[in-house]
Amino acid sequence: MAKIKPFYGVRPATEKIKEVASPPYDVLNSMEAREQVKGKPNSFLHVVKPEVDLPEDIDLYSADVYQKGRENLYKMLSEGVLIQDEKPCFYLYRLIMGNVDEIGLVAGASIEDYENSIIKKHEHTRADKEADRIKHVDTLNANTGPVFLTYRARKDMNEIVGEIIKENPLYDFESEDGIKHIFWKIDQQIDIDKIQTIFSNIDCLYVADGHHRSASGTKVGQRRRKANSDHTGEEEYNYFLSVIFPDDQLYIMDYNRVVKDLHGYSSEKFLSKIEKKFDVKVYSTSDCYHPQKLHDFGMYLDGVWYKLTSKNDTFDKNDPVKSLDVAILQNNLLHPILGIGDPRKDKRIDFVGGIRGLEELSRRVDEGEAVAFSMFPTSIEQLMAIADADEVMPPKSTWFEPKLRSGVITHLLD
């Protein structure tokens, strides 16, 4: 059963929230982050992308970078830009993007649950990215970016959330991308006890987004557990920062592909090759083709959009991984025809989140890349089925929107 814990949240002073809240560390490169922090001394990018305050040629993984992040975090605390709540609390974080309305519980998630697969995973982590996050968490002594978890929605939890959001929030602001962020503190013990009781009856949680953050938070906790002769299991390092959403509120967008070349084929030969596994039709309008159902794909080649439909018996419909559209495209086209064996490492393929629109695919092909593919979004049900089967999704299978802002809440490890 899931174990969650309230914590002494570190968060912006009310009047500073819009100055502090920033995009997550992994949606901006260093140059973009340097541009964003200009004239913004309180942006949390100074904590999660601390290279912005160091020379441009700095090694992003040097100790100086992590130390700068620590310096910036505790400077913001000492100056009152950030404050720490005086008692352990849960929090609610609401995100509104158009018709999408999600409310997640902010809590400490148990590293023991992670170890025991009560928190279920669906992706492999990369050693280099994990090492980076471990250094960041350990040096700053903090989880500065929350893990995005989900659970199967429950009426009793919905009822508690419905009552709490009737109260005035701590924060209510709109980020520059038009997304509304609303945040409440849950500090009444009766509410805290009810929530913990509900989660103690939830069989499992799922990592929706944040596999590297959850893995690194767990490994830092394991190190500290081993080093502490007086370890009790209740120390803050036994928990990592999470925002936990009911599954029926989540919005997953398409995660599309662009390939730099046709692996030596002419366009005509390439089309003839893919016709063995897909029905290929020219999309008759001038619009981009966005697939409307599973096992349909869009393809942009030589200024033309095509609709591709997987032929029967070209994949195992009973296999939760092989029946994913991202796996079908990889196994029936990207690998055997375009020679992309490992999309994690192959520099000839790039991935474009659906938030950027299909016009981004057209633009990139028109400007010199060879071919692009638009995808039907993976569903939360597919994600959970794969995690339940203890299987792993292909890389870049899901793109969640809207994104949580960094700096809204931070969890210290002591």
Query: Is the separation of the CB atoms in 53 and 60 below 8 Å?
Result: no
- Kindly report the number of other CB atoms within 10 A of residue 387's CB atom: 24
In angstroms, rounded to a whole number, what is the distance separating the alpha carbons of residues 21 and 409?
Answer: 9
Average pLDDT, the chain: 95
Longest dimension (CA), the chain: 69
For 369, list phi and psi in degrees, rounded to 5: -80, 165
Give mean pLDDT, residues 363-375.
97
Q: Whole-angstrom Cα distance, residue 410 to residue 140?
A: 11
Average pLDDT over residues 375-388: 95
| Contact criterion met (CB below 8 Å) for 6 and 236 | no
Confidence at residue 95, expressed as pLDDT on a 0 to 100 scale: 98
Distance of CA 225 to the CA centre of its chain: 27
Given the structure tokens 């893919």, which residue do they identify?
Answer: 274
Structure tokens at 58: 């700095």
Residue 49's pLDDT band, with cuts at 50, 70 and 90, is very high
Question: Does position 286 have pLDDT exceeding 80, yes or no?
Answer: no
Q: What is the mean pLDDT of residues 117-144?
A: 94
How far is it, in rounded angstroms, from Cα 282 to Cα 300?
10
Residue 324: φ, ψ to 5°: -65, 140
pLDDT at 1: 87
pLDDT digits (tens, 9 = 90+) for 66-112: 999 999 999 999 999 999 999 999 999 999 999 999 999 999 999 99
Give residue 285's pLDDT: 66
Residue 123 has pLDDT above 90, yes or no: no
**What confidence tens digit (pLDDT) does each residue in 162-187 have?**
999 999 999 999 999 999 999 999 99
Local confidence band at 279 (pLDDT 50, 70, 90 cut-offs): very high
CB atoms within 10 A of CB 161: 18
Cα separation values, 227 from 222, 224, 230, Å: 9, 5, 9
Q: What share of the chain is helix, strand, coil (3-state, %, to 5)?
A: 35, 25, 40
Q: Which of 179, 156, 185 minimizes the C-alpha distance to 90?
A: 185
Q: Region 372-381: what's the mean pLDDT? A: 96
Distance CA 335, CA 148 (A): 31
As a residue count, the chain comes to 414
pLDDT value at position 126? 82
DSSP secondary structure letter of residue 139: H
Specify the 3-state DSSP secondary structure of 103: strand
Position 345 confidence tier, pLDDT thresholds 50, 70, 90: confident
| Counts of helices then strands in the chain (DSSP H, E) | 13, 21
**Residue 272 is which amino acid?**
S
pLDDT of residue 63: 97
How does DSSP classify residue 248?
Answer: G
8 A C-beta contact, residue 167 and residue 184:
yes
- DSSP string covering 253-291, please? E-EEEEES--TT--HHHHHHHHTTTEEEEE--SSSPP--
Residue 408 has pLDDT above 80, yes or no: yes
Q: What percent of the chain has pLDDT over 90?
A: 93
Contacts of 85 (CB under 8 A, 6+ apart): 8, 9, 10, 11, 185, 187
- The percentage of the chain sitting over the pLDDT mark of 70, rounded to a whole number, equals 100
Give the mean pLDDT of 386-400.
91
Domains of the chain from N-terminus onward = 4-251+401-412 (no CATH), 255-376 (3.30.1760)
SS3 32: helix
Average confidence (pLDDT) over 292-317: 95
Q: What is the pLDDT of residues 200-226, one digit of tens each?
A: 999 999 999 999 999 999 999 999 999
So what's the pLDDT on residue 27? 85
